[in-house]
């Protein structure tokens, strides 16, 4: 269910809203990042206040994500918490938010700020050294590899050059 704020209630006192937004509501599965997946509902606790021709929303957003380390590809979980989240939404003018049935949907604003808070380069540990280095392959070169058939070196012409 979307995070809706009913404007009629705000004229008397601020509204306190808390609950969860499902992953499908956030459309978090559509992130461009393959290393981070939002797979738990987003929990929110916000206060909505009426301002002069706007509404001010402040509060806390929190969700858990599954990450894949950008260095070693290990899967790990991380909690994303946005403390002090706020947004000022104008109700008039060119940038006004859409009002449908005396309600404003906060979901797009929550979605945007949540996606911006996701780690861009997730690391399982700040000191992660990445994948273990593979030993260099051993190349055995036979002694006759540098010679042409007949026992003449392929480098003979270069060895005769004098600079």
Dump pLDDT digits (tens) for 26-35. Answer: 764 455 467 8
Q: Which pLDDT score is estimated for 32?
A: 47
Rg (CA), the chain: 30
Residue that wins the pLDDT comparison between 137 and 123: 123
Does the pTM surpass 0.75? The reply is no
5 to each of 19, 112, 118, how far by Cα in Å? Answer: 13, 17, 25
The pairing of beta strand 36-38 with beta strand 42-51? unpaired
Residue 105: which residues within 8 A CB-CB, separation 6 or more? 2, 3, 4, 98
- Report d(CA 19, CA 105) in Å as an integer: 14
Q: In percent, how much of the chain has pLDDT > 70?
A: 86
The pairing of beta strand 75-90 with beta strand 103-105? unpaired
Q: Which pLDDT score is estimated for 1?
A: 62
pLDDT tops 60 at residue 14: yes
């Amino acid at each position: 269910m979307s995070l809706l704020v009913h404007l009629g209630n705000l004229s008397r006192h601020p509204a306190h809203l808390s609950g969860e937004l499902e992953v499908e509501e956030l459309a978090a599965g559509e992130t461009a990042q393959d290393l981070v997946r939002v797979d738990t509902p987003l929990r929110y606790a916000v206060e909505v206040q009426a301002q002069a021709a706007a509404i001010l929303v402040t509060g806390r957003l929190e969700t858990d994500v599954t990450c894949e380390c950008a260095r070693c590809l290990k899967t790990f979980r991380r909690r994303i918490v946005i403390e002090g989240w706020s947004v000022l939404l104008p109700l008039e003018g060119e940038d006004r938010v859409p009002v449908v049935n005396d309600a404003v949907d906060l979901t797009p604003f929550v979605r945007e700020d949540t996606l911006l808070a996701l780690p861009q380069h997730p690391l399982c540990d700040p000191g992660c050294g990445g994948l273990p280095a593979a030993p260099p392959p051993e190349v055995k070169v036979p002694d006759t590899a540098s010679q042409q058939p007949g026992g003449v070196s392929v480098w003979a012409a270069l060895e005769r050059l004098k600079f």
